[in-house]
Structure 1
Amino acid sequence: MNTKNKICVTHFDYNRLKLMISDYTKKNKMDPNTKDLLGEIERAQKVDSHSIPPNFVTMNSVIELKNLNELEFQEFRLVFPEDANTEQNKISVLAPIGTAILGYKIGDVIQWKLPGGENQFQITSIKYQPEANGDYHL
């Protein structure tokens, strides 16, 4: 699972994610990824959207990750499941890597179990964070 570094999520993201998880649970879709996400957001420090530092990953952020096992970089946008589209590099927060990075900051190294085994990732940059750009509605 993740390292136990301090993670931060905005109250806005927390509320939307809790609602999404509640809807999934009502439809009997509480799978391991959903449980992992719930665990992560529950342990996160909740902060106001206007106060979250720009180096933290929030929903709709565009992130560059380095896979430390393969020394390869990936760039993608962290989105809600209905907006996921791998061709457009939009990764769902319910995907293992999506859950893994939410709330972490630039420089953090994250260990996460993926379908192919456990990998280590480092967040190398956040190319866009909605809150840092005044986009508090995303």
Structure 2
Amino acid sequence: MTTNIILTTGVYDLIKDHLRRKKVTAEQEDILTQELRHAEQILRRDMADNIVSVGKKVTIKELNSNQEYQLNFVGPDKAKPKKNRHSILMDEGLATVGYKTGDVVEWPTIDGVKKYEILNVETVA
């Protein structure tokens, strides 16, 4: 991945802790470690509206299956999938966090490498 991601300090620490606890595969760990090493950390109030983070409603297109869906990303303690509030630490969250509208990212999953295009990002009130 050549793009430097933009993260709030809180999300940066959350991902770092997730890695430390070995909650991801070795391949995912390598990707996240590289991304964190080059990530730009900013304050939440300075986060642009079009960057995937906690508190954002993200429209993603999975290019492998051509499926499009919306996810509201929250911290892991606030996740309630039945209410469409998904942890930023789920596969789609980890794959897209810090990227912006229009970016295409690849992410290794149990079902093989998935390719996601970020179609829209908006702040949830």
With the shorter chain as reference, the TM-score category is 0.7 to 0.9
Please, which of 81, 84, 90 is the counterpart of residue 86 of structure 1?
Answer: 81
SS of aligned partner of 2:46: coil
Residue equivalent to 1:21: 17
Residue equivalent to 1:32: 24
Amino acid corresponding to residue 30 of structure 1 in structure 2: K
Q: Which runs of 5+ in 2 are unaligned?
A: none
- 1:59-107 deviations in whole A, cap 9, x for unaligned? 1211000111111111011122222222222222222211111100000
Partners of 1:109 and 1:126 in 2: how far apart? 13
Percent sequence identity over matched residues? 25
Q: Which runs of 5+ in 1 are unaligned?
A: 134-138
**Aligned residue pairs, count:** 122
Amino acid corresponding to residue 102 of structure 2 in structure 1: G
1:36, 1:99 within 8 Å by CA — same for their partners in 2?
no
Compared CA separation, residues 38 and 66, structure 1 to 2 (3 A): closer
**Superposed CA RMSD:** 2.6
Instruction: Work out which of the two has the higher radius of gyration on C-alpha atoms and give 1 or 2.
Output: 1
Residue equivalent to 2:42: 47
SS of aligned partner of 1:94: coil
TM-score, normalised with respect to structure 2: 0.79
SS of aligned partner of 1:103: coil
1:21, 1:38 within 8 Å by CA — same for their partners in 2?
no
